[in-house]
Amino acid sequence: MKVTIIYFSQTGNTRSVAETMIEAFRENGCHARAVSLKKATPQDATTGDLLGIGTPCFASQAPVPVKAFLNTLPRLAGKPAFVFATSGGAPGRVLYDLTRSLQRKGAEVIGGFLTRGEIHYPPPSLIGRFPQRPNAEDLTEARSFARMVSEHVMSGRPGRVAGSRPDTVRPQGSFYNSVALLCKDTFLRLILPEPKLDPDRCDVCQWCAYECPMHNISMSPYPKIGRVCIRCYRCLTGCPQKAFKVDWKTSDLPIRIIYHPTFERWFGDLKTGEIIYPEVGNK
């Protein structure tokens, strides 16, 4: 069986899950490959017998670049597919978004997997959550899921894979489902600050223009952020020269409230006793 996994990853969390799954498929005798979204083409999704799509969770949903890519796919005519994501405790619609997009193209989504990923998103109230995740235990679970998927497909069993998350085929709790529906690009641009360039620190290396998932940064001669910024802050967190800055004085408050650990325990998927911040445990 030939397996193709297409994944979107900015900090390495989702990439490590994708690579672990590839190893598991190969151990089960499959020909498997992982393709970064940056390099993927719609034709990559049509090759092979099984398709996997992986992504981090952005604002309780699948990121815009991933959904845009899935919209470009040709008809998949019943191709079996699975989805996976890394999340910080409030996954909302992320797996369902992927499933719905694939089903619209005719794919048969047979399962979904989700695990923790250390949060590198820069608001002070979020950054550093779930340190060093996905960890060895998370990746062991990812490996097990991939094995179940391969055995499910090769055996010809119908339906979904045992152990697939229920929010793969229906949205999770109503609160974070509502957050995802509200947090569209236009709204995020209103409530979240735009990264600002410090020209004195910029060496015009063009790293940010290359890494922007929306191809929204042009050079003239310094980086200029365009009008379709999705506030992923990849330019801010990854710039080798630390040339971008953001003022979080007002914008961090609504994030702190919406993604408060108490709310994530009520409406997200935080487990009892799960460590969120290393220095304060579950608080």
- Tell me what percent of the residues of the chain surpass a pLDDT of 90: 86
| Position 236 confidence tier, pLDDT thresholds 50, 70, 90 | very high
Residue 141: which residues within 8 A CB-CB, separation 6 or more? Answer: 113, 115
Q: Which residues contact 161 (CB under 8 A, 6 or more apart)?
A: 82, 110, 111, 145, 148, 149, 152
Q: Are strands 244-245 and 196-197 parallel, antiparallel or unpaired?
A: antiparallel
pLDDT, mean of residues 37-57: 96
- The tens digit of pLDDT for each residue in 141-155 reads 999 999 999 999 999
CATH number for the domain whose boundaries are 2-178:
3.40.50.360
- Would you say residue 21 has pLDDT above 70? yes
Domains 2-178 and 194-246 equal at CATH topology level: no
How is the chain split into domains, by residue range? 2-178, 194-246
> What distances in angstroms separate CA 31 from CA 4, 20, 48, 53, one per listed residue?
9, 14, 9, 17
Does domain 194-246 correspond to CATH entry 3.30.70.20? yes
Tell me the C-alpha to C-alpha distance, in Å, between residue 70 and each of 21, 65, 137, 283: 20, 9, 30, 37
Consecutive H or E run containing 155 = helix 136-155
Q: What integer pLDDT is reported at residue 283 of this predicted model?
A: 44
Of 83, 74, 90, 101, nearest in space to 7 by CA: 83
Instruction: Give the residue-averaged pLDDT of 213-220.
Output: 96
End-to-end distance of the chain based on CA atoms, in angstroms?
A: 45
CA distance 30 to 19: 14
Is the confidence at residue 206, as pLDDT, over 50?
yes
Average pLDDT, integer, range 33-60 = 96
User: Is the pLDDT reported for residue 281 higher than 60?
Assistant: no
User: How far from chain centre, in Å, is Cα 147?
Assistant: 21
Least confident piece of the model among 40-44, 122-126, 171-175, 184-188 = 171-175
Q: How confident is the model at residue 34 (pLDDT cuts 50, 70, 90)?
A: very high
